Structure 1
Amino acid sequence: MLKKLYNIIKKIAVFMKNEFNYESHRDFEEFYASFDDETPIHFHRSIEFMFVKSGEKPYTAGLESGVIKAGELLIVPPLFPHSFHPIQGGGAVKCNVLPAKYSDVWENFLKGKTPASLVIRDLNLAAELEEHLSVINNTVSPVLKDGVYKYVLGRIFQKVKFTDAPKSKTSGFATEVLRYIDENFSDDITLDETAKEFGYSKYYFSSLFNERFKTNFRTYLNNVRIEKAKKMLETLPLSEVAFRSGYKSLQSFFFNFKKVTGITPKEYVRSQNLSE
């Protein structure tokens, strides 16, 4: 028991000694890559999958470290700090980062649980999931992409064993602030109120936020609200989405939506073949 506790503390210490890079851009885009390289410790709200085609790839994710062997698939849950090392002697990998809106599907279904093991070592299941994820790189259809992402998550929920998530907060300030914003974006939260929630002055909190996330509080909050709004627009009318997203008026919603996406909400609805 003491040895296990020591190993957990040691892993936390290693993480805390390193700089965490919060990759905010990952929260608002999908990503697909097939190159093998050194990836320093970072985290994002999005779910990430790493499939190893050949070789053995060392990884650290949360408090779990090990290697992903050929034919296996690593799941990195939302907000899990993680890093990768190149495959010794060369190898081949595929990496998929899902749009952040699917993190809501993950968290709403699991409700505080996490995979007992982050690596899927069932080669048949890993190959099935990798085959479906490969479709994403070869299509521009949002309907097909949405179907693939939901199918992959559904298969994971069905086949993977889950356990209660560890209580330790390895990324401390960063993950707690992101969770707070994610859970309260629809309220009229401000920099001042959020700073008080975490026991800081608004000036120190703002400085800490900017340093950690490379963006300011208002910009990040707007990005989260607009991403949530895009999801809600699939089923709700514009006027309702505006207020559920945390904006006090349609004018404010339209202004911020275009600022973040480059198009108006109505143009977005038409581009996605959604009903207004």
Structure 2
Amino acid sequence: MMPIIEIIDGLYTEKSFHYGALDLPAFEHFWHAHPEMELTFIQKGEGMRYVGDSIQPFTHGDLVFLGSYLPHSWATYRSPTIENERVTAKFFQFPASLFLQFPEYRFLTSFFREANYGLYFANPSAALLNKIHDFGSFPRHLQILQLFDLILELFIQKKRVQISQKPARMLPGFQFLEKEEQRLARVLKWIHEQHATAITLDQAAKEAAMSKTYFCRWFSKINGCTFMQYLNRLRIEQACQMLVFSDKTVGEIAYASGFENISHFNRVFRGVKKQSPTALRQQASLR
């Protein structure tokens, strides 16, 4: 089965890495891959872990480091005897270039290559676990420093085991993943360049070389929202910049952002920002 490409919202434009903490009734099977590396720690839960060509059971304390494009999924068992059972995990996603852009960190290159097969860490040190547990308590501007410290602590762990027999590039579908990423990048670039014009769903589908019906399914599955939701969110973010940093009227901003009338702009703006354009401008002027 081909993995789904996961696009991490806001990565590269709003943040250089993604940190998440999950608390769910269960981990549903979601076979996916992404260009970024990923460190995942299962705090509570048990089930099956799928990484590359490997299928293995996991339980509390499962700590795994995954390379770029290595398909993966965790699927938990549901206990019929435990009510309101929860599973929890913490994960970190980042491009290898975040570290390797610095000459001082290029000694991690071989370690990151190991991660192309997936690495399981048995009996991680207390220092490493503490860094994972405490990560969310740091303000965002300090978390990137904590991430560097965390990966360095991960690097010195001796008890690590290769998970998959094959790296991502040798698994079925790898070339498909690269092709899909290139197509998505082309479509998103086109949307960002044309969002202030009267672009249509038909034009977007043509840009992706797909039928309109298939494009809608493809775009929603990859981005987690419809084409129009993505386009409107992009337009509203552009409008916010103009509201704060320009003297243009709300009407001028609406048209400059790609909306054909002010009433539609106001309705979409409220739906995205939960306030009116005027209220946001007034709020910004008080800062």
TM-score under structure 1 length normalisation: 0.51
Counterpart of 1:188 in structure 2 is 194
Larger radius of gyration: 2
Is structure 2 residue 280 aligned with structure 1 residue 261? no
Mapped partners of 2:71, 2:22: distance in 1: 19
Aligned pairs for 1:109-258 (under 5 A) are 109=98, 115-116=112-113, 117=115, 118-119=118-119, 121=121, 122-124=124-126, 126-135=128-137, 144-147=138-141, 149-155=143-149, 166=169, 168-169=174-175, 175=181, 178-188=184-194, 190=199, 191-202=201-212, 204-206=214-216, 208-209=218-219, 215-223=225-233, 238-239=245-246, 249=256, 252=259, 255=266, 256-258=268-270
Question: Is the 8 Å Cα contact of residues 34 and 92 (structure 1) preserved in structure 2?
Answer: yes
Percent identical residues: 17
Contact residue 40 and residue 65 of structure 2 kept, 8 A: yes
Q: Give me the whole-angstrom Cα distance separating, in 2, the residues matched to 1:174 and 1:106.
A: 18
Residue 187 of structure 1 and its aligned partner are, at CA, apart by 0.9
Aligned-CA RMSD value: 5.7
Judging changes above 3 Å, is the alpha-carbon distance between structure 1 residues 214 and 36 closer, same or farther for their aligned structure 2 residues? Answer: closer
1:86 to 72, 76, 81: 76
User: How far does residue 215 in structure 1 lie from its aligned partner after superposition?
Assistant: 4.3
Contact 1:223 1:260 (8 Å CA) reproduced:
yes
Cα 1:258–1:52 change in 2 (3 A) is same
Separation (CA, whole Å) in 2 of partners of 1:83 and 1:275: 46
One-letter amino acid of the structure 1 residue matched with residue 22 of structure 2: A
Q: Residues 129 and 72 (structure 1 numbering): CA distance in 2 closer, same or farther, change over 3 Å?
A: farther
Report the Cα offset of residue 83 of structure 1.
2.0
Gap runs ≥5 in structure 2: 11-17, 102-108, 156-166, 247-253
The whole-number CA distance in structure 1 between the counterparts of 2:86 and 2:278 is 42
Structure 1: segments with no counterpart, 5+ residues: 1-13, 136-143, 240-246
Residue of structure 2 in register with 1:73 after alignment: 63
| 8 Å Cα contact 2:39/2:64 also seen in 1 | yes
In 1, the alpha carbon distance for the partners of 2:235 and 2:71 equals 23
The question of whether the paired residues in 2 share the 8 Å contact of 1:72 and 1:119 is answered with no
TM-score (norm 2): 0.50
Cα-to-partner distance string for 1:212-254 (whole Å, 9 max, x where unaligned): 7674312123335667998xx7xxx645xxxxxxx97258597
Q: Which amino acid aligns with 2:50?
A: T
